Structure 1
Amino acid sequence: MLQRLNPRPDFRIYEIIYSGARIVVFEILAAADRPLTFLHDAYIRTGSINRKLHDFPEKERKIWQKNETGIFEKEIARILSDGPEITYLLDTFVYFDLLKIPYPESNKSVIERFMSEGFVIPLPDGKIGITNLGAILFAKDLSEFEKLQFKGVRVSLYNGTNRLETLKDRTFPKGYASVFKTIIDFVDDQIPQKEVIEDGLRSELRRFSPLIIRELTANAITHQDFSVSGGPLIEIFADRIEFTNPGIPVIRTLRFIDENSARNEKLADILRRLGICEGKGTGIDKVVDL
């Protein structure tokens, strides 16, 4: 059934005991940026029956009109009662370190800078909202943000060329900007290297360039579909590395090397300024050239 749905829904299972009886509750989260389809058709409830959405063009128009305003980066990930909590939940130092600018002397200046970037926003009654953009980039622990808790990058190392035996499996539950270098170093350390001797000197030959790992990891992070459950996955085999991210490409795969389009434009812009990804859509081109 799930294989016939697009996008695949994110659901959670809860078990409770009520009046001595065991009850299992399934919570199915609503699709964020487009209607859920079954065998390529979207449906809508009218009265007591389900009807195909395209039979109700006015309702369909309103749904799409509503979805156009739902930009992932601007949505609120968590509401705080006051400003100081920001530095408890977000690794604010990373932002200034990557931009190579001095860290402000006061929390107020940090908050103002983060507000100017859209990482946090002011709310009524003096409260502050951490946006998805701020959390997905700088969270010290993504589990502190319910909608993002499963978005951490996962790296799996297998024995041989298939998935029958897992040697290592590690998830990095931090914001992407905070943990990017750690991920790249970890992946690079797991890749088998060949020892060669040339002119009497022993050296190690890398199977994959660190630049390839960096570009494809950044690409998987930047262009994922955040409305789909799960996070970026890097799988290391004896003969290859596979990079997977949630969602389907926004452009045809055959046009990867001569066309570019960002699904998450604000995220891509910030990652470019932080020196993590390309902003010109040339990442895949570099990988192919290598």
Structure 2
Amino acid sequence: MVFGVRDGTRDRVGTDVRLQQLKNGNEDFTNWLSRMIEPRIMLDVLDFECGGLAYSIIAVEPSYERPVKFSGSEFIRIGENKKKLADFPEHERSLWIATGRRRFESAVAVSNATTDDVFAKLDPEPLFELTGDPRPKNSDEIIRKMIEYGFLLDNLEGHYDVTNLGAILLARDITMFPSIAGKAVRIVKYVGRNKSKVAP
């Protein structure tokens, strides 16, 4: 959601809204909004200036498992209008057919990463060690290989989206990917055939 761009015409007009400073009662806006949304998904707010105009953005992580509710209700945008999802069962059905096809591995862990961001967050070396492919000399070719293996998606705007697969397999530090930090690969070795005792 963007504040500072006019609905319909998409004209850039700026805004007086400062989401990072905004409060609802005595509570920070971001905390309040997080409480109102269920399930608890990641969201971020950003205030910035561009071309002498101020803008504010709310970035919300998509949910692929169930509808997101705000204050107990699910909504959908139809054209320029916000409607209750319950009033449009055909839209709801289509939405879940489309999102239900998405696998965890291909979902986005970090979006809109620059080339520098990609290499700061991901270590491509294991890719070439495991596949036996020669390591390309330049970063563009390495990026192309990571896209080919499904670790990155080209967002066609000069940046890249890191997939969950890429984050889990190539992350330099899994905590740089909060949405999947709890899903890091773990290996447990047991003593004997039963699982009653973990090996040291």
TM-score, normalised to structure 1, is 0.38
Q: Which structure shows the higher helix fraction?
A: 1
Matches within 5 A, 1:136-151: 136-151=168-183
Shift in Å, 1:20: 6.6
Residue in structure 2 matching 1:70, options 79, 84, 102: 102
What TM-score do you get using the length of structure 2 for normalisation?
A: 0.52
Q: In structure 1, list runs of 5 or more residues that go unmatched.
A: 1-16, 37-42, 47-52, 155-182, 193-206, 210-235, 242-290
Percent identity, aligned pairs only, is: 27
Matched residue SS, 2:94: helix
Q: 1:34, 1:67 within 8 Å by CA — same for their partners in 2?
A: no
Name which one, 1 or 2, has greater alpha-carbon Rg. 1
Partner of 2:167: 135
Deviations 1:128-178 (A, max 9, x none): 221222112211222111211221245xxxxxxxxxxxxxxxxxxxxxxxx
Could you say what secondary structure the match of 1:129 adopts? strand
| Distance change >3 Å, CA 81–CA 132, structure 1 → 2 | closer
Match of 1:58 in 2: 90
* 2:114 alignment counterpart: 82
User: SS at the partner of 2:161?
Assistant: strand
Question: Please, what is the CA RMSD of the aligned residues?
Answer: 3.9
In structure 1, C-alpha distance between the alignment counterparts of 2:94 and 2:174, rounded to whole Å? 33
Is residue 91–residue 138 contact of structure 1 (8 Å, CA) maintained in 2? yes
1:237 matched to 2:192: no
In the alignment, residue 107 of structure 1 is paired with which amino acid?
Answer: S
State the Cα distance separating 1:118 from its structure 2 match.
Answer: 2.1
Find the aligned partners of 1:114 and 1:102 in 2 and give their Cα distance: 13
Is the 2:168–2:185 contact (alpha carbons within 8 Å) kept by the matching residues of 1?
A: no
Matches of 1:56 and 1:82, distance apart in 2: 38
Cα drift, residue 98 of structure 1: 1.2
* Conserved 8 A contact 1:33-1:70: no
1:102 aligned onto 2:134:
yes
What is the distance in 2 between the residues matched to 1:149 and 1:57?
Answer: 35
> How far did 1:112 drift?
1.1
The within-5 A match list for 1:5-24 is: none
Out of 120, 129, 139, which is 2:152 matched to? Answer: 120
| Deviation of 1:109 (Å) | 1.6
Specify the code of the residue in structure 1 equivalent to 2:166: G
Q: 3-state DSSP class of the match of 1:79?
A: strand
